[in-house]
A and B are shown apart, each in its own frame.
Chain A
Amino acid sequence: MLTLFLAFARWLDRLTLWAAMAATGVLALMVLVNVVLRYGFGSGSIGLQDLAAYAFAVLVILSVPLCHARGGHVRVEVISERLPAAYLPRADALAWALFLVPVFGLIVWAGWGDVVFSWSIREGSTNPGGLGGQYLVKAVLPIAAVLMAVQGLAALLRGNAA
């Protein structure tokens, strides 16, 4: 059961990483394309600018669980490094239950209505003449929140298993 969950978490992480890499690539390339259009031809495309903005939004929110799965979030270890080795895993477990799940749960719980509404009207970009499909980007927010909870739990369990 445990190994199954950890394998699932790892698979999810890889999927998330692919999506975030694609978003980063699209962001850089779209900025380039927009610059070339503007500098070279004095024109621009609102659709392509929206695409860059969508890619950035996806990157921002997916980068948070990805960073967490890699232990990349900053910790202040001035005190904890002097405490026994058993301390930090316990503190992390407490932080998962007390802080991580409520904070990211709030994103899902309080943000759900907005996402559902956005889907129901198939919300597009707020820019006139912009790209459709913003509702898809909005849906990434609760997905990332759930991913954060899953990766946080997986990191705890992996630490215990090791």
Chain B
Amino acid sequence: MSVQDILLIVLVLGLFAGILSGIPAMLAIAGVPLVLALVAGQFGLFPLAFLSNFPARVWGVMTNTLLMAVPLFVLMGVFLERAHLAERMLRVLARLLGGSALGMGLAVLGFSTIIAASTGIIGATVVMLVLIALGPMLEAGVPKRQAAGLICASGTLGQIIPPSIILVLLGDQIGNTYLEAQQRRGNFAPEPVSVADLFAGALVPGLVLVVLYALWLMLTLRRRKGVARPARQPVSATEVAFTFAPPLLLILAVLGSILGGVATATEAAGLGAIGAGLMAGFSLTSTRWERILIAAAGLAAFALVALRLTGFGRAGLDTLAGGAAGLAALLIALGVLVALARLARGGLLADALTETIKVSGMVFGIVIAASMLSLVFRGFGGEHAVAEVMATLPGGESGALLAIMALVFVLGFILEAVEIIYIIVPMLGPVVLAGDISPVWFAVLMAMNLQTSFLTPPFGFALFYFRSVAPREITTLDIYRGVAPFVAVQLLALALVFGFPRLATWLPDLMFN
């Protein structure tokens, strides 16, 4: 074993000690490698000139237009949450289906699928489901273990169902790593991997997972004995339409425009954020003309997309289509202004922006810190060491893939998804991505694996969030037992995608090739 190998082992161990010490993880991820590199540099064991690349790496993160979608998707989710739009959907759903235990369970699952497509932040979804849905679920006769399991499992759906922030980050990392690895192997024209590819790739596996959950509920969910069937509360059709149509349309538009190849992920995320802002503004105001203007702006945005789709894109202002586009632009401007004024007066704008900045800081802090780690890792020759170790594994590429999957699963107990993606993919990814394995399939497997690991007792993140807000009558053991079957369902779905890569690659091939 060479000195370099020993230093690499010290790096990895130091990294874990630093992260587990309880200090902000980003400081450990950037700090431990830097200190080790500085010390090793004194003995001529690390090329210190490497470190002067760090500011350029950070600037690279700041100018990475792919990551632009991240704060915009966060803003979209925060608007939907802060304006209680998501909460209202769940309440209406609960009243609509609250008559039976199974109906209630499926309602929560359906709601989570929709909301997963909008926020993708595990903590927020789990906490909201506990606060709003747990009570009605128990009243409807859902056994408490199953209720706990369903809420935790549903809360993690946002990781895999697009548009998910995790998939944007995976797209960034896997895209780069794949390109580099392929070029080093001599393939100078690999097909680039885009975020849209990953969104398309994750859609089918995500829906398969939801269907499996639903089947599991249908097979096993029985009303708890001794619970009276609660009376159904009437819900009018207009209420349902008004509560569900806007958020659903927004999410479909965002997802559809990406998958349809009309918009980039960033454009779709920007439209999603503005659209969610319009809805939040709409729900805050009760003035009629303001509501009309805001709604008109939303419709005008759809009209613009429709104009584009029907090929009227390049019209001058003097033509009919050009005039329509001009009118739509005017309506959008007016509606956005009115909605912004409302949001600002209600205090919601500053609140939502602050929260968005905070969540973005959390993500970008890790991204920036990880760029230091990968710099030092390369400086110590880590890539070669990893390639050598991986070469000793049996089973070639699939052996390496399985080893990475097992590692990611274990790491998921202590690290957040962002950290894992930015640590594991650049370090271990090249071995797998240099081969003929589909990068989209690899990304989807990573996302599903992370999601499973967040659900697995005793360290799953979803369980911590659940515990932090759940009543004491539901013991921690109840949560573990309730979650166990869902973990099994997850593993089944993961095995399905592993065994049938077409589940992940079929839709992207169909859409983009």
Q: Hey, which bits of chain A sit against chain B, CB under 8 A?
A: 17, 20-21, 24-25, 27-29, 31-32, 34-36, 38-42, 52-53, 56-57, 59-68, 70, 72-81, 83, 87-88, 91-92, 94-95, 98-100, 102-103, 106-107, 110-111, 114, 137-138, 141
Inter-subunit contact A80/B21 (CB<8 Å): yes
CA–CA, A52 and B34, complex, Å: 32
> In the complex, what residue of chain B is closest to A41 when comparing beta carbons?
B325
Chain B interface residue bracket vs A:
35 or more
For the complex, give the distance between the alpha carbons of A78 and B61 in Å.
Answer: 30
> Is B366's CB under 8 angstroms from A74's CB?
yes
Q: Which 7 A-B pairs have the closest CB atoms?
A: A99-B31, A67-B361, A80-B22, A31-B270, A111-B55, A40-B325, A63-B361
Q: Select the residue from A34, A60, A64, A88 with max chain B CB neighbours within 10 A.
A: A60
Are B419 and A74 closer than 8 Å at their CB atoms? yes
Q: Check if B357 sits within 8 Å of A40, measured CB to CB.
A: no
Question: Within 8 Å of chain A (Cβ to Cβ): is B121?
Answer: no
Quote the shortest CB–CB distance from B448 to chain A (angstroms): 22
In this assembly, does B416 line the interface, its C-beta being within 8 Å of a C-beta of chain A?
yes
Assembled-state Cα–Cα distance A10/B72 (Å): 27
Given A17-B354, A36-B329, also A72-B274 (CB < 8 A): no
* Docked pose: A83 CA to B416 CA in angstroms: 22
| Given A21-B353, A67-B365: A32 and B308 interface contact (C-beta under 8 Å) | no
Whether, in the assembled complex, B47 has its beta carbon less than 8 Å from a beta carbon of chain A, the answer is no
B332 & A36 in contact (Cβ 8 Å cutoff): yes
Q: Give residues in B with beta carbon < 8 Å to A.
A: 18-28, 30-32, 34-35, 38, 51-52, 54-56, 58-59, 61-63, 65, 67-68, 71-72, 75, 263, 266-267, 269-271, 273-274, 277, 304-305, 307-308, 313-315, 317, 322, 325-326, 328-329, 332, 336, 350, 353-354, 356-362, 364-366, 368-369, 372, 414-416, 418-419, 459
Q: Can you offer 9 A-B residue contacts whose CB atoms are under 8 A?
A: A63-B357, A63-B358, A63-B360, A67-B358, A72-B358, A99-B27, A102-B38, A103-B31, A110-B52
Known: A66-B357, A98-B31. A61 touches B58 (CB 8 A): yes
B241 CB to nearest A CB, Å? 26
With a CB–CB cut-off of 8 A, which chain B residues contact A68? 24, 361, 365
Other contacts beyond A53-B63, A78-B20: 6, CB < 8 A: A25-B353, A63-B360, A67-B360, A72-B359, A103-B31, A111-B55
Q: Give the dominant DSSP class at B's interface.
A: helix
B35 x A99 contact (CB < 8 A): yes
B76 nearest in chain A by CB position: A28
Q: Is the CB of A95 within 8 A of B24?
A: yes
- A76:B22 contact, CB within 8 angstroms: yes
Contact, CB under 8 Å: B304 / A95: no
CA distance A87 to B21 in the complex (A): 10
- Which residues on the B side are within 8 Å of A53 (C-beta)? 63, 65, 68
- The complex places the Cα of A114 from the Cα of B54 at a distance, in Å, of 12
Query: Taking the nearest CB of chain B, how far is it from the CB of A10, in angstroms?
Result: 15
**A77 close to B22 (CB less than 8 A):** yes
Give chain A residues whose Cβ lies under 8 Å from the Cβ of B356. 24
B316: nearest chain-A partner, CB-CB: A41
Most B CB contacts (10 A, CB to CB) among A25, A29, A35, A110 go to A35
Q: How many angstroms from the CA of A57 to the CA of B54 in the assembled complex?
A: 16
- What's the Cα separation between A98 and B416 when bound, in Å? 23
CA distance A94 to B22 in the complex (A): 12
